[in-house]
Amino acid sequence: IGSGCIAAGRPDGYLYIDWNGWVMPCPYYQFSPINIFDVYKNGGNLNDVYDQPFFEAIRRWQDDYAYARVGDETGNWLRPCPIRDHHRIAMEEIEEYKAKPEDKETDKWLHDEKLHQGLIDFDDQLSKLMDPYWDKIYLKEEEIDDNEKLPFTSSGIPKLELRFD
């Protein structure tokens, strides 16, 4: 277990800059509010990037979800990623702050409603599956019975039977 999502310039985290200068929360969250080349051309610096409202919103979510919480108030760090594990929230931030897709594929992805609904459904199913483990094992530090354990593959990865159409 890590310390949650480290994207968007969170303390001990980072921002991701691609070869074209687009600054993104991380390599998986491929939306950008700003281009570093434009920032420098206009006399700015990395502080101007860091202070972008899009990145501030992500850091605020990280704090509200888990990073600034303690004890049993901490969000489930088995599901820390806003773009993958909390897709609905990520899409709201992308829309609100008008973050641009990094490339044509991401732009196509942005407009695929079936994909978004599938990811939201996946998040809901993953929450139902993983939140009880988080609560019992990590927050309450209780042992789980054999019949409660997730089945694992031979490589140690949980076998998840999550489905979306």
129-162 pLDDT, tens per residue? 889 888 888 888 777 676 666 666 666 656 666 5
DSSP string, 96-116: HTTPEESSHHHHHHHT-HHHH
Q: Indicate the helix (H) or strand (E) that contains 23.
A: strand 22-24
Which amino acid appears at position 26 of this protein? C
The pLDDT, as a whole number, for residue 117 is: 92
Element containing residue 94 per DSSP (H, E): helix 87-96
Q: Are 120 and 131 in contact (CB under 8 A)?
A: no
Average pLDDT on 8-34 reads 96
Per-residue pLDDT tens over the stretch 68-112:
888 778 889 889 999 999 999 999 999 999 999 999 999 998 999
Other CB atoms within a 10 A radius of the CB of residue 11 amount to: 10
What share of the chain has pLDDT > 90, as a percent?
Answer: 64
Mean per-residue pLDDT over the chain, rounded? 88
| Confidence (pLDDT) at 135 | 87
| 17, 85 Cβ separation under 8 angstroms | no
* Domain positions in the chain: 16-148
Global pTM?
0.85
In terms of Cα–Cα distance, which of 18, 5, 4, 15 is closest to 102?
Answer: 18
> Quick one: pLDDT at residue 129?
85
Let me know how long the chain is.
165
